[in-house]
Structure 1
Amino acid sequence: MKIVHTKIPEVLQLEPQVFADDRGFFFEVYNHQKFAQETGIVTNFVQDNHSCSKQNVLRGLHYQIQQPQGKLIRPIVGTIFDVAVDIRKSSATFGKWVGYELSAENKPLLWIPPGFAHGFLALSEIAEVMYKTTDYYSPQGDRTILWNDPDLSIDWPLSAPPILSAKDQAGKSFKTAEIFD
């Protein structure tokens, strides 16, 4: 696995070794031992999630104030623009974001540790995303920051107005969001 460090050191792009031939391809998506050895991150994933989104659906920016989740994200169909925002007040990169185009075709994974808000935009006609989490979903701790907050100035590659859930439309501003100390 090739590890690509992002502008926020704790967020990692992981490029697995893919074995392809005329029959198709094979690659190891996740191996607990190798993940710990190669990234230095020792964690246990407890939940797998799978979403399907139409083009221009924007999900996020989501996080949990209770039971914060680290996420290992992978598109399995289509292409997304995936964003991680550092919401740890004590961090040198507090309020900074990174965004990457990820596709099922190029097979990358993105590691987003606990303490980050996460969101993505479906760029293809359909995008299916699978991700592992380091803690269980906590409805009482679930929070959302506005996807278009001017203090974050995320450069979403929008080709049309985004399609948002009611939850995402009602997100808090970055300045008023309940975040991590």
Structure 2
Amino acid sequence: MKAMEVPEIDGAYLFEPTPYADERGFFCRTFDAEVIRSVGLDPAAFVQDSVSRSARGVLRGMHLRSGAGEAKLVRCSHGRIFDVVVDLRPHSPTYRNRAFFELSGDTQTTLYVPAGCAHGFQALTETADTSYRIDRPHDPSEDVTIAFDDPDLDIPWPLPPRLMSRRDKEAPGLAEALRQRS
């Protein structure tokens, strides 16, 4: 497994595994504490694992947490997703930068999203399973949602949104969400 910095987002990383393929399929390591540690992250900091299953066109996001924020490792374990990170840390050298990725079950690449960054994704395949490993227990009172189509974010979603949660549909724009986050 190798770690690569994401130049658009300070402190974000992609972790690319080395799959071993044969006639049975493939095997790869999707989490390696030593590799995580090699980029200055504490592998023991991750306290909760979750998974979501989405149908093609489902859009989830843009989400972040208020207070101390939430760092996460995100991986598409099956299917493909268009993944988005927006740096909303006011003192970051990459403040308001965006980065886009295609994560897939074929590559098993993991994205590290630093605390203070908004995150969202859209399923590109009929079924897409997305795994999250987060560094704080989830507290719904800290949830902040930003309108996926806010013109200040200008995210080039690849498909028309097929389904979204009520929270995502009714999310405020970026300016209001930033006020909520404080």
Whether TM exceeds 0.5 here: the answer is yes
> Hey, what does 1:122 align to over in structure 2?
123
Pairing 1:90-109 to 2, within 5 Å after superposition? 90-109=91-110
State yes or no: 1:175 paired with 2:172. Answer: no
Measure, in 2, the Cα distance between the counterparts of 1:22 and 1:67. Answer: 46
| TM-score relative to the length of structure 2 | 0.92
Is the partner of 1:35 in helix, strand or coil? helix
Aligned-residue Cα RMSD (Å) equals 1.6
Q: CA deviation at 1:67?
A: 4.7
State yes or no: 1:133 paired with 2:121. Answer: no
Q: CA deviation at 1:29?
A: 1.2
Question: Structure 2: any 5+ residue segments left out of the alignment?
Answer: none
The letter of the residue matching 1:163 is L
Q: CA deviation at 1:143?
A: 0.8
Pairing 1:9-88 to 2, within 5 Å after superposition? 9-37=10-38, 39-43=39-43, 44-88=45-89
The percentage of aligned residue pairs carrying the same residue is 37
The letter of the residue matching 2:84 is V
Residues 59-68 or 139-148, more deviating: 59-68
The letter of the residue matching 2:24 is R
Is the partner of 2:176 in helix, strand or coil? coil
Q: CA deviation at 1:153?
A: 0.6
Measure, in 2, the Cα distance between the counterparts of 1:162 and 1:89. Answer: 32
Q: CA deviation at 1:58?
A: 0.3
Contact 1:71 1:113 in 2 (8 A): yes
The letter of the residue matching 2:41 is I
Deviations 1:61-107 (CA, angstroms, capped at 9, x unpaired): 01110352111111111000011111111122222211101110121
Deviations 1:112-157 (CA, angstroms, capped at 9, x unpaired): 0111111000000111111100111011111101111101111111
Measure, in 2, the Cα distance between the counterparts of 1:91 and 1:79. Answer: 29
| TM-score relative to the length of structure 1 | 0.92
Contact 1:67 1:135 in 2 (8 A): no
Q: CA deviation at 1:5?
A: 2.2
Measure, in 2, the Cα distance between the counterparts of 1:115 and 1:77. Answer: 27
> Hey, what does 1:5 align to over in structure 2?
5
> Hey, what does 1:150 align to over in structure 2?
151
Determine which structure has the larger helix proportion and give its number: 2
Residues 87-96 or 111-120, more deviating: 87-96
Aligned pairs, number: 179
